[in-house]
Amino acid sequence: MGQSQVVGPSEPIVALVGDDVILPCHLEPAVDVVSGSVEWGRPDLEPRFVHVWHLGQDLLVNQNPSYQGRTSVSAENLKHGDLSLRLSAVKHSDNGKYRCYFASQAKETTQTAVTFGSVSAPVISGINLNSSTVVLECESKGWYPEPEVLWLDGEGNLLSAGPTETVRGPDDLYTVSSRVTVEKRHSNTECFPATSVSTVRFTMVLVVILIFTCVAAFVVWKWTQNQMKGTGPVLCDAHN
């Protein structure tokens, strides 16, 4: 047991507000620590305790009130040296650095949990200017930190758009909207709200978002075509 090392993640943990997230931490080599003491904390809080496991049971007397009822460790996992913390119903205030401490080893590791808000799929709508051009507007809600909006054509080229409008709500989450004027031949035009902090890490979430966006856009496009008798705008991923 004396040779085990406490190991945390090498990259920040990304989570959405309202979701559950696992903050990983484990011992290498793995040993049974279910009868030991494990402390999860945040040095910037008072009290600092997020979750404490001591001698086979939870010890939450001094737990920070903002985490009450939202944290847990698995006794079964502890038998295999897994000290990971489950944090439920993630909130914006959960963003910060967490310390995983195994008392018997007198060693610790720190990690960062980053929240991005309960992001809505970008909603894209179009307005005809003339027979060859259309104005596309993209809006997305629930972002943190504040994102920038990028428009790409069907070939992946960056389009020049107007200034992004940003509104910060009472929950500290951002709503962004942007407009771009394109030729109708750009039938695959897409908007990408993405934070400068973690654009790469958020790619997989954006893929899911875009799938739902394009399905919704196709439905809107078909409805517009019926309403306008074939003269409606070409929207996100709606091929001519």
Task: Give the number of domains in the chain.
Answer: 2
* C-alpha to C-alpha distance for 177 and 198, rounded to whole angstroms: 20
* C-alpha to C-alpha distance for 189 and 158, rounded to whole angstroms: 10
- Residue 236 in domain: no
Does one domain contain both 70 and 100? yes
Does one domain contain both 90 and 155? no
- For 208, the domain range is 123-228
Does one domain contain both 133 and 181? yes
- Residue 102 in domain: yes
- Residue 234 in domain: no
Q: How confident is the model at residue 156 (pLDDT cuts 50, 70, 90)?
A: confident
Does one domain contain both 79 and 98? yes
Does one domain contain both 92 and 139? no
Listed residues 69, 85, 115: the one ending a domain: 115
- Residue 219 in domain: yes
**H helical segments located in 75-130:** 75-78
Does one domain contain both 15 and 53? yes
Condensed to tens digits (0 to 9), the pLDDT of residues 106-133 reads 555 555 555 445 555 667 777 766 667 8
Q: What is the sign, positive or negative, of the torsion defined by CA atoms of 103, 105, 106, 110?
A: negative
**For the domain that residue 132 is a member of, what is the CATH number?**
2.60.40.10
Listed residues 94, 115, 136: the one ending a domain: 115
Does one domain contain both 111 and 141? no
Does one domain contain both 74 and 128? no
Condensed to tens digits (0 to 9), the pLDDT of residues 189-225 reads 777 776 643 332 333 233 333 334 444 444 455 555 6
* C-alpha to C-alpha distance for 54 and 222, rounded to whole angstroms: 60
* C-alpha to C-alpha distance for 146 and 175, rounded to whole angstroms: 8
Does one domain contain both 111 and 144? no
- Residue 52 in domain: yes
Q: What is the sign, positive or negative, of the torsion defined by CA atoms of 88, 90, 94, 97?
A: positive
CA angle centred on 38, ends 71 and 4, rounded to 5°: 130
Does one domain contain both 186 and 213? yes
Condensed to tens digits (0 to 9), the pLDDT of residues 222-237 reads 555 665 554 444 334 4
- Map tokens 């085990």 to a residue: 4
- Residue 233 in domain: no
Does one domain contain both 89 and 187? no
Structure tokens at 106: 């007198």
